[in-house]
Every structure is written in C-alpha cells, then in structure tokens.
Amino acid sequence: MDDYDILCSEKNIILKRDKNNFYYLSLEINENNSNENTIYDVITNDSFFELLFELNKDILEKYNISDLPNNYKKIFYSLNLVDNEDFGDQNINLLFNITTKIIDDNKCSITSNNDLTNFSLDNNSENVFLNSFSLDYEKDDLSKLSIKFKLDEYDDFKSYFISMYIKKTIYRIKKYFE
C-alpha cells in the first residue's frame, strides 16, 4: 500500500486510508493464555461479530446475524449515535455479508461477497453498506489482525467518523484477548 494517509495510530492500532477510500486497520495482540478461547477460535466458530457486539454495547445498539446461501452470513449492526454533535439523534446501520475461511491452524480470514440484495432497510436510520470487508488473522509469536473495508459512497467526514468507531470496537477486541 504505497499511497495512503495514516488517520490514527493510537493504542498500537494503525488506521489508514488509501486513495481509493479503502480503510485498513492493523494490530498485533499478545494473547493472554488464560483466556478460554483464542482469536482464532472466535473467528473460526463464527462468534467474532457476536463478541464484537458484546464488548461494545455502548456503541452498538443492535446486532443481528443470519445465514445466507453458500455459507455466507448477513451481518447487521446499528451504531448508537444519539446526542452526537456531528450526526444528531440518529443511528447508522452497518450492513455486510461475510464468509469465514480456515487456511491452517494459525491462519484464517473473513471476507465479504459484496452482495447486499438480502437486506431490508430501516428508513429511520442511515444505512451504510460495507462494499468490501476482509479480516485476516495470523498467529506467530503475536496474533496479527489486518482488516480492510470500504464504505459505500459516503462523504469523507462520515467515512472517517465511522472508521474511527470501527477502530474503537476492534481496540476492545484487542484488550479482551490481552
């Protein structure tokens, strides 16, 4: 990734955006061996997004996951932005489809298929589609997460704001496993 802007590098999580408006999060996690599950476990047993919701209930008001054909899952999150000075009293719904791929005992990924035809929209909220989403996990001495996503056509400020919310939710995943 040669041409990008670093938007935030706090808390050892780097958030970048490239010239095509793809966002990238990268982080390393020193997993605590006393945890019942590893990051690999929650990704491969399809509970990563549920854990993300449980750790972020102050930000994520609603969550739903449902099965689709060809081993895909439909993901819905509602960001709670009530009394936010930049957005007013509204929610933003994040919508995307994913599938999980196990590569080996130390590698796995989650990717989207960009097919958003299976979503019923909430007209009282702003609906934001993740047109592209991928999460790559690799375990070496440290656990490494790389996340890439692109929001549907959206202005820069709102895209930045939403990307920072996504970074915050991922930070809580990091803290949970350390």
Q: For position 1, what pLDDT does the model report?
A: 47
Q: Which fold has domain 27-177?
A: Alpha-D-Glucose-1,6-Bisphosphate; Chain A, domain 4 (3.30.530)
Q: For position 143, what pLDDT does the model report?
A: 95
Q: For position 120, what pLDDT does the model report?
A: 64
Cα distance between residue 111 and residue 130, in whole Å? 11
pLDDT values of the chain reduced to their tens digit, one per residue, 178 residues = 468 999 999 999 999 999 888 999 999 999 988 878 899 999 999 999 999 999 999 888 888 888 888 888 888 888 765 555 655 556 777 878 889 999 999 999 999 876 666 666 666 667 777 878 999 999 998 999 999 998 876 677 778 888 888 999 999 999 999 9
User: In 20-145, which residue ranges form alpha helices assigned H by DSSP?
Assistant: 39-44, 48-55
Cα distance between residue 102 and residue 108, in whole Å? 4
pTM (2 d.p.)? 0.85
Cα distance between residue 75 and residue 167, in whole Å? 17
Q: Determine contact, residues 46/100, Cβ cutoff 8 Å.
A: yes
Both tokens of 17, joined, read 């955006």
Q: For position 9, what pLDDT does the model report?
A: 94
Q: For position 159, what pLDDT does the model report?
A: 82
Burial string for 99-135 (b: 16+ CB within 10 Å, else e) reads ebeeeeeeebbbbbeeebeebeeeeebbbbbbbbbeb
The number of residues in the chain equals 178
Which one-letter DSSP state was computed for residue 121? P
Q: What is the CB neighbour count within 10 angstroms for residue 39?
A: 22
Q: Determine contact, residues 163/15, Cβ cutoff 8 Å.
A: yes
Q: Determine contact, residues 106/114, Cβ cutoff 8 Å.
A: no
Q: For position 68, what pLDDT does the model report?
A: 82
Phi, psi of 54 (to 5 degrees): -60, -35
Q: Determine contact, residues 133/146, Cβ cutoff 8 Å.
A: no
